[in-house]
Each structure stands twice: as structure tokens, then as C-alpha cells.
Amino acid sequence: MGTILASVRGMTRRRIVEPGMIWALSRRTTRRHFILNPDEARQMEQAYWYCLGHAAQLHGVAVHAGCLMSTHSHEVITDVRGELSLFLQTFHRHLALCAKAIRGWPGEVFDKESTGAHELLTPETTIESLAYLIANPVEAMAVRYARDWPGAQTLPRDIGSRVVKVRRPPHYFDPTKPKWPEVIELPLQMPTALELDYGTELAQERIAQRVKEREHRAWQESKRTGISFVGPRRVLRQAHTKRARSYEVFGSLNPQFAAAGHRGAATEAVKRLRAFNAQYDEALAAWTSGKRTVLFPRGTWWMRVHHGARCGPAP
């Protein structure tokens, strides 16, 4: 019993995980090293799409967009089967091992404390998150236009139309094992809510407009500060041992959901999370006292998967 309680307390913070939830994801490299920086041979781009596509197929995840920056990755996905935690574990583990092989990196690739995952509550929030992902290389002052990023990237027109076809990287993956197919195809799907509300073309246009707005703000910031864009050629020449120097507040917030200003959706999400935590606390107390028939709230992942706990609505 003590071992179970210790493992529960030692895990990452609670997260409601249910089928059909749409998530914005990110993961940062250890000490913000440029381990994931694009390269002329496009090896990191190949590894990224292969690992993402493999994990998505394995865990029933619909990928809407992905972008691999020098120090971090961004994805927007729908967790169709409710396997977010397993998906993240598979994706990040294989990407890290592949990056280590490509770079000859001796230590950890990802910062253990830096995984970001927040639920997108509304279609408008999804549009904003997709635009943020696409414009990230511009807002990071790497390139002037999102389309100029020389690494793995998604553009507005890709969402709902592009199928990424990627060959198995020569690093890390054993070609003799059938679990590593020679080619993986990863469709970048339009989120269902956007497809229903706008259709593919109009949704792409709305995302593209938000990307342009972000690009314009980045250009204005460049003029104001005198900081120039790095440019794609210089990006490719950056050493993977380099570290990001931009100021960052230690322990900055990692929200669990985003509502893009929709107060009603945010209020409901807060209520839901509070109710979830209250039922979870009560169930965990009963479990650790030996009551194995207690119901954990719907959306519980760790206790259900690792300890066989039952889940259901609050009594």
C-alpha cells in the first residue's frame, strides 16, 4: 500500500483524460539546448514525423499540426481513444532516442519538468492554438515567415489536406522488426469541430489570417527592439550544443486548458476540474485505506491503468 501511495504522489499532476479531447502539446529540451535544431540533411525532421506518426497510429491519435523548433516541439492533436499519456510516452521516448543517435548526445534530451498539455475548449481556441504553433518560428525571431522554417512545420493549407509520408530513419530503428515500417503516412487532419463549423477551406483561411496577424506583430516587435530575424540559412548552421538565451521565468505557468477568452467555457472547465479533484481525493483516501471497490472519477488515467481502479460518476 505504501508503494502505491508513493507512486501516486510521485506522478505528474492530475489530468482529466477522456476520448475525444483536443490538446495543444509541447515538450522542451534539457537546459534549452538546440538538440532538435533543423539540419541540411533533414534528419531531425524525418525523425520527428516518423516518431509522431508511429505514436499516433499506435495510440489512436489524430494529428492536426506539428512543428519542431530547435529547443522544443509543438503539436495539436485529438486523443480519439483516451490514450494521451501512452501517446506522449511513446512519442517522446522514441524521438529522444533517435535524437541521441543523430546527435551523439550523451545525456537526456528532454527536460523532465517541461511537458505541456492543455485542453482546447472551443473551436476558436483551436484556431488560436494552431496559429500559435504555425507562427512559432516567426515569434521566436528565427524566420520572417512561417513558411520559411527549415525544419518540420505545418502550414494552414496543410491542415485537412496534407499527408506526411516519411521513410524510417536510419538511426535507432531496427529495420528487421515489423513494428518499424519502412514508410509511415501521417494525415494532418482538420479538427472535427472546425470541419463542422467552417468546412476545410474556410477553416484554413481563418487559421491563415491568425498566422498573418502573429507574423505582423513579430515584425513590429523586431523593429521596436532592433532584434533581427535569424534567417533559415543561419538556423541550419546553429550547433546543437548551443543553448537558448532568451529570458524565461522559472516555474512559469503551465495551464491545463485554454478557452481563448470564452469565460463560460473556462468557468465550466474550472468547475469540472474541481469536482474531479474532489472525487479523486476522496477515492484515493478510501483506496489507500484498503477499499478497492471505490470509484475514481471519469477521466482518471493513472489509477485505472496502473492499479486497476474502477471509474464512474460520483455517487
Q: What is the CATH number of the domain that holds 134?
A: 3.30.70.1290
**In-domain check, residue 180:** yes
> Is residue 39 situated within a structural domain?
yes
**Residues 165 and 101 reside in one and the same domain:** yes
Domain assignment of residue 8, yes or no: no
pLDDT of residue 263: 85
Q: How far apart are CA 207 and CA 155, in angstroms?
A: 9
pLDDT of residue 257: 79
Contacts of 240 (CB under 8 A, 6+ apart): 33, 34, 35, 36, 37, 103, 105
Same domain, 185 and 301: no
Please check whether residues 63 and 200 belong to one and the same domain.
yes
Contact 194, 123 (CB under 8 A): yes
Q: Is residue 249 part of a domain?
A: no
- In order, the DSSP letters of 266-284 are HHHHHHHHHHHHHHHHHHH
Containing domain of residue 279, as a range? Answer: 267-311
* pLDDT tens track, the chain, 315 positions: 343 433 344 445 788 999 999 999 999 999 999 999 999 999 999 999 999 999 999 999 999 999 999 999 999 999 999 999 999 999 999 999 999 999 999 999 999 876 899 999 999 999 999 999 999 999 999 999 999 999 999 999 999 999 999 999 998 999 999 999 999 999 999 999 999 999 999 999 999 999 999 999 999 999 999 999 999 999 999 999 999 876 554 445 567 878 877 888 888 989 999 999 999 999 999 999 999 999 999 999 989 999 999 998 766
Domain presence at residue 298: yes
Together in a domain, 210 and 287: no
SS3 238: coil
- What total number of domains does the chain contain? 2
Same domain, 196 and 102: yes
In a shared domain, residues 100 and 180: yes
Pair 210, 273 in one domain? no
102 is a domain residue: yes
Phi first, then psi, for residue 282 (nearest 5°) are -65, -45
The answer on 305 and 159 residing in a single domain is no
Could you tell me if 83 and 227 lie in one domain? yes
Cα 307 from Cα 16, distance rounded (Å): 17
What pLDDT score does 246 carry?
A: 67
Residue 261 lies in a domain: no
237 shares its domain with 160: yes
Global pTM reads 0.91
CA distance 50 to 94: 9
**153 and 189 both lie in a single domain:** yes
- Within this chain, do residues 219 and 169 fall inside the same structural domain, yes or no? yes
Write down the pLDDT at residue 15. 87
